[in-house]
Amino acid sequence: MLKTVSLQTKLIKTSLFSSILTGLLALLLFVLISLYQTMQVQDQIMDEIADMLLISDITTHSGQQVDELSDEFDIQYQLKDQQHILTESKEFPLEQQNSKLQMLASNGYRYIWQDQQLWRMYSAEDAELNMSVTMLQPVGERFKELAQNVMGYSLVLILLWFMQWLILHFAVKRQFKVIQQLSKNIAEKNADDLAPIQQQEPELKELQPMVLQLNQLLQRLKQSLLAEQRFTADASHELRSPLSAIQMRLQVLKRKYPDLNQDLASIQNDVSRGTQVLENLLLLARLDPTNTHQLPKIDVNLQSIVCDVIQALQPFALEKNIQITTHIADDLSIFANEKLIFTCVRNLVDNAIRYAGQDGHVFIDVQQRQQNVVMTIADDGQALTEEILQRLGERFYRALGTKTQGSGLGLSICQKIMQLHAGEIHFSKSGYGGLQVTLQLPLLHK
């Protein structure tokens, strides 16, 4: 089974993914630049505090500034001469005799590991005053401000991504309305409307080749249907005259040779069947108007239609002793072509009588369901398989094994009549054993 994907969703995901990837790269670049700048600024602060300690009197205002800066940036310091510690911060972590401090006593910046954490260390000395200063700052302290900045930047990115998702969702959906409208226009096409498909403005350049090919296909289909209709009509007209002539000659032969009536009757039945096929073909050709709205329609009472059909077929039903049972709701009317509806119902009832068998039953039910009229015509004839049910309505199709004569066009005519009246026709197994045909037509719509 082929996997189905949404192009709209795929576009949104692709755009959002590229934006997220770009944002993450920007975030990484921001972190690296901020980390570098933070280290530079903090090192500069340590350098300034060291200079203040070396050149200032720690008891003066400058000494107070050193303490304030030390507390603000969590910088520990120690000022000493060659023999004594002159001053140091309260939490200075290195003792005077600490071998690590002595080993790392060279001037400049470095990192040391002390008290289970990483420290940034800066050492400087004044040769004239014989004093040296050591500055220490936890590296983690430098990352606190950086982490806050990164967190703020990340929240802004997430907010922007969410806003972008909303904008993409509505923008892409809006752009896809053109495709949805095109799909709707294609879905509305049928055998009665094969006009070229028109794109709404603005036309999408990417869709133009597809629309062009579709229009060319519709044009070829239209030409094929017209050719088929012309051929059916022309062939039927050309064959009608010879069959009529044969019928007349058979009548003459019957009168001239009475002893051949039985043989001539068999030939006449075959000719009559051929004539019926031609009449049905002509009817199918006429049921393909280019505009169904031009079909003349009036208010049609279905109860009257059913009664007229039963009256017309009553002799045929009596020959096979068929009992016709009707259940028709009162005052059900549709806006339709009376002759075509009569033809449709007559074909279905005639079909039911033919296949019901000797002493069979035909059931006709007409009821209203919401805004539709539903007519069911069922018989108790031979059961039909699902394969046969699927093919019912095809032109010239007749189920194998049936001894009943027919052209295989009656149900095709009914289908076309339903299409012309915005109705539906369904074939199913009857609860009585045979075939059930269900017609659904809209109630009176003028």
Locate 337 and state its tokens: 């072509």
| Per-residue confidence (pLDDT) for residue 74, from 0 to 100 | 75
pLDDT computed for residue 439 by the predictor? 92
CB atoms within 10 A of CB 415: 21
Output the six-digit token pair for 105.
Answer: 């006593």
Report pTM.
Answer: 0.47
The Cα 4–Cα 284 span in angstroms is: 40
Q: Are 343 and 416 in contact (CB under 8 A)?
A: no
What confidence score (pLDDT) does residue 349 get?
92
Quick one: pLDDT at residue 405? 54
Q: What distances in angstroms separate CA 210 from CA 141, 189, 194, 430, one per listed residue?
A: 63, 16, 16, 45
The tens place of each residue's pLDDT in the chain, 446 residues long, gives: 667 777 778 888 888 888 889 888 988 998 888 888 888 888 888 888 788 777 765 544 455 666 666 666 777 877 877 777 777 777 676 554 444 554 455 678 888 887 788 888 888 887 777 788 888 888 887 788 788 888 888 898 889 888 988 888 888 888 777 787 888 888 877 766 778 887 767 677 777 888 888 888 888 888 887 887 777 667 767 777 787 888 888 888 888 888 877 777 778 777 776 776 677 667 666 665 555 666 788 888 889 999 999 988 888 889 889 898 989 888 888 888 888 888 889 889 988 898 888 888 999 999 988 888 999 999 888 877 777 777 776 665 555 445 555 556 778 888 888 888 888 889 888 888 888 899 998 886 54
Cross-strand pairs, 190: 193
Structure tokens at 85: 């510690």
For strand 361-369 and strand 323-328, is the pairing parallel, antiparallel, or unpaired?
Answer: parallel
Q: Would you state the pLDDT for residue 59?
A: 46
The structural domains of the chain, ordered by start, are 7-147 (3.30.450.20), 212-286 (1.10.287.130), 295-442 (3.30.565.10)
Q: What is the pLDDT of residues 303-351, one digit of tens each?
A: 999 999 998 888 888 988 989 898 988 888 888 888 888 888 988 998 8
